[in-house]
Amino acid sequence: MNVNLAKRMGRMGTEAAFDVFAEVMALRAQGKDVVSFCVGEPDFDTPQNVKQTGMNAIAENKTHYAPVPGTPELRKAIAEYVSKTRHVKVEPEEVIVVPGAKPILFIAMLSLVEEGDEVIYPNPGYPIYESLINFAGGTPVPLPLLEEKGFGFDLNELKKLLSPKTRMIVVNTPSNPTGGIISKMDLEELARICKEKGIWVLSDEIYSRIVYDGAFESIYQFDGMKERCILVDGHSKTYAMTGWRLGYGVMNAELVRHFSKFMNNMATSTATFVQAAGAQALSGSQEDVEKMVKEFRARRDLIVNLLNGIPGISCHAPRGAFYVFPNVTQLCREIGFSDSWQVQQYLLYRGGVGVLARTCFGSRNEGEKEDYIRLSYATSQELIREGLGRMKAALADEGRIQDFLKEGR
Residues that bind ligand PLP (CB under 6 A): 40, 100-102, 126, 172, 176, 204, 206, 234, 236, 242, 247
Taking the complex as a whole, the smallest distance from the CB of residue 172 to ligand PLP amounts, in Å, to: 5
CA distance 151 to 130: 18
Residue nearer to ligand PLP on the CB measure, 212 or 239? 239
Q: Between 206 and 353, whose beta carbon lies closer to ligand PLP?
A: 206
> 3-state class of 158 per DSSP?
helix
Q: Are 69 and 406 in contact (CB under 8 A)?
A: no
CB of 295 to ligand PLP, least distance (A): 19
The residue (of 180 and 326) whose beta carbon lies closer to ligand PLP is: 180
3-state helix, strand, coil split of the chain in percent (to 5) is 50, 15, 35
As beta bridge partners, residue 193 has none
CB of residue 204 to ligand PLP, shortest distance in Å? 5
Query: Residue 125 or 352: which CB sits closer to ligand PLP?
Result: 125
For residues 191-226, one letter each, b for 16 or more C-beta atoms within 10 angstroms of the residue's C-beta and e for the rest, the string is bebbbeeebbbbbbbbbbbbbbeeebbbbbbbeebb
In angstroms, rounded to a whole number, what is the distance separating the alpha carbons of residues 203 and 208? 11
Helices 398-407 and 340-351 pack at an angle, to 10 degrees, of 110
Map residue 203 onto helix, strand or coil. strand
User: Do 372 and 313 contact (CB within 8 A), yes or no?
Assistant: no
CB 316 within 8 A of CB 397: no
Cβ proximity to ligand PLP, 50 vs 394, nearer residue? 50
- Shorter beta-carbon distance to ligand PLP: residue 100 or 352: 100
Closest distance to ligand PLP from the beta carbon of 102 (Å): 4
Judged by beta carbon, residue 18 or residue 338, the one nearer ligand PLP is: 18
Report the C-alpha gap between 235 and 248 in whole angstroms. Answer: 9
Q: Shortest approach of ligand PLP to residue 207 CB, angstroms? A: 7
> Looking at beta carbons, which residue is closest to ligand PLP?
100
